[in-house]
Structure 1
Amino acid sequence: MKPDSDIIRKRYDRIAPYFEGMEAVMEGLFFRNWRKRLWAKVEGHHILEVGVGTGKNFDYYPKDARITAIDFSGQMLKQAAQKRDRKKVNVELEQMDVQSLYFADNSFDTVICSFVFCSVPSAAKGLKELYRVCKPGGQVLLLEHVVSSNPAIAAIMNLLNPVVVGLVGANINRNTVKSVKACAFTSVNVDERSSDIIKLIEARK
């Protein structure tokens, strides 16, 4: 694991036991509906979830799919494993850094992430890995919070970003849509229901 990833991983390890409580209000008000929309777009049988965290997406997993879920934080995975066992979710959990996946090329019908690339040190490396492990004709689905298109709000986000990164390891000022479009995908679309700072991105290999 790269040094930058190791620093961020330790931050997520630290907050893992409290993570669901920290995001409970936002989860109830906003994120839950976005997760439903994200997972409704899943295609195929073999699915990879990147950044499973504490397992917030377990309730939206498609029936009868073969799902592998990864995270680079061992403590987050511990929380996810407990939830998996409690809810009896059929998922294989593995610790892995999205910047260096262990999977073979062209392995998954759909690769899916929710609020992950804010925490990846090199978005370009992570996206290239998602592209690599996705099957030809398959899709990569991303739900991400991004920097605002409003200059005044963007300036505030840029100002606050070092504090947020220091506390939890997440960047709040990334332009993930631009990063995805810079990758080798044949098409990239942003769901029309996306807001200014939350984007549902659909990329096709």
Structure 2
Amino acid sequence: MSTVSKYNRIAPIYELIDLPLEFFFFREWRKEALSGLSGKILEVGVGTGRNLKYYPAGCRVIGIDKSERMLRRAQEKAESRKNITLYPMDAERLEFPDNSFDYVVITFVLCTIPDPVKALKEMRRVLKPSGELIALEHVHSDYPIVDFIEHLINPILFFLLGDHATRHTVKNIEKAGFTIKEAKKLAFKDVFRKIRAKP
């Protein structure tokens, strides 16, 4: 089953699956990362739209996702916001011109994209030279015991969610041609990171 099929299937219960993480960690990280942004923003992998309420009213947000059912949930949250537009689209083939956005935002998405480097190259292409990539991601850990646990749960996460727990995401961002400005450790040693990068 493809990752898109998995997300279409779990869309109705997706927000329940990671509710504890959302309550204790993610919502604060989202708020801190997004509430100060401005200009034109692309959110790749908008999912059920959990980030949407944290964007300032003055910015223009375009959100994309490959799963139509997840997007439908996001649309419900976006209805009251005139500055948000959502489209079904593949992160590996972004349908926007070069140098279109001031920011590209990704939160817990690079673990599920089949070819993350290809998608990141597309994100770099659509970012303005002065723009910035902002990512909240779970990544491969450099701590042996955490790395062991990640490898242990990886097959389960992939089966259920198409989620890779062992990706070297910071390196992948660099491989796509970005310069890392920040890779802040947020929780569980170095598993959850806030990454800021310039094209």
Q: Tell me, yes or no, whether TM beats 0.5.
A: yes
Dislocated runs of 4+, deviation >2 Å: 87-90, 189-195
User: Counterpart of 1:3?
Assistant: none
CA RMSD of aligned residues (A): 1.5
1:189 is aligned to 181
The corresponding residue for 2:44 is 50
The aligned counterpart of 1:79 is 73
CA shift digits 1:132-151 (9 cap, x unpaired)? 00011111111100122111
Matches within 5 A, 1:1-205: 7-40=2-35, 42=37, 44-85=38-79, 87-88=80-81, 90-185=83-178, 187-192=179-184, 194-195=186-187, 196-205=190-199
Structure 2, unaligned runs of 5 or more: none
Give, in whole Å, the separation in 1 of the partners of 2:74 and 2:35: 21
Measured in 2, the distance between the counterparts of 1:126 and 1:96 equals: 12
5+ residue gaps in structure 1? 1-5
Distance 1:38 1:163 in 2: 29
In structure 1, C-alpha distance between the alignment counterparts of 2:28 and 2:5, rounded to whole Å: 29
Question: Residues 117, 192 of structure 1: CA spacing in aligned structure 2 closer, same or farther, 3 A cutoff?
Answer: closer
SS in 1 for 2:132: strand
Partners of 1:113 and 1:77 in 2: how far apart? 15
What TM-score do you get using the length of structure 1 for normalisation?
Answer: 0.91
How high is the sequence identity, in percent, across the aligned residues?
A: 40
SS in 1 for 2:87: strand
Per-residue deviation, residues 28-49 of structure 1 (Å, max 9, x unmatched)? 001111111221453x411101
3-state DSSP of counterpart to 1:13? helix
Residue 14 of structure 2 aligns to which amino acid in structure 1? F
| Distance across 2 between alignment mates of 1:197 and 1:191 | 11
SS at match of 2:63: strand
- Amino acid across the alignment from 1:51: G
Give the whole-Å Cα distance in 2 for the aligned partners of 1:168 and 1:152. Answer: 23
State the TM-score, normalized to the length of structure 2: 0.93
